[in-house]
Amino acid sequence: MENWLEKAAEYLPGLEDLLTREQAIPGPMALWIGLHLELVKAYDASPPDEDLIRGIYDYAAWCLAQPQTDDVNTDLPTAVAVAFIEHLPLDRPVAQDLHRWMSQESFEGFENLFRYHLSDEQYRQFAKDFTGRKKSSDPRPRI
């Protein structure tokens, strides 16, 4: 398996400080917690930092495509799922823009992750909003 921090540096060239800090705290889970916070900051910027947003979703897609392992220090898909995907509905700007980055199929596949922090009613509204925002003109989903 490729070094996940080296791959992160390829996808996220503007986050050298975060990636350097993560080298001192091994494990992808800590990195994905930090990347979720960076995603929220990217949406708070005016205008939103589209390059960083794209890079985070591209790196998430790469991590999700890696083999699952029994070691928390190398299990990239689980880190993305637990420290990133399940938190996407919690920030309004992130949730409202998710339709551009995630396919309908992936959204449906992540239902249990999204439901972790949402009530049944909140999830139904989140899913309705996601589907309602999906457009054929959206860019190719990253995830």
**142 part of a folded domain:** no
In this prediction, residue 98 carries a pLDDT of: 97
In a domain, 92, yes or no: yes
In a domain? residue 143: no
Q: What is the pLDDT of residue 1?
A: 41
Return the pLDDT at 23.
61
The number of domains in the chain is: 1
* Interacting residues of 7 by C-beta distance below 8 A, sequence separation 6+: 59, 62
Cα–Cα distance for residue pair 66/64, rounded to 1 Å: 6
Any domain includes 139:
no
Task: Answer whether residue 13 is part of any domain.
Answer: yes
Residues contacting 91, CB < 8 A, separation 6+: 39, 40, 43
Residue 140 covered by a domain: no
pLDDT on residue 25: 59
pLDDT of residue 3: 87
pLDDT at position 138: 80
Instruction: Tell me which residue range forms the domain holding 53.
Output: 4-133
pTM above 0.85, yes or no: yes
pLDDT digits (tens, 9 = 90+) for 97-123: 999 999 999 999 999 999 999 999 999
Mean pLDDT by 10 residues, the chain (143 residues): 82 89 72 96 97 97 95 91 97 97 96 97 98 87 92
User: What 8-state DSSP symbol labels residue 48?
Assistant: -
Q: Is residue 89 part of a domain?
A: yes
DSSP label at 25? S
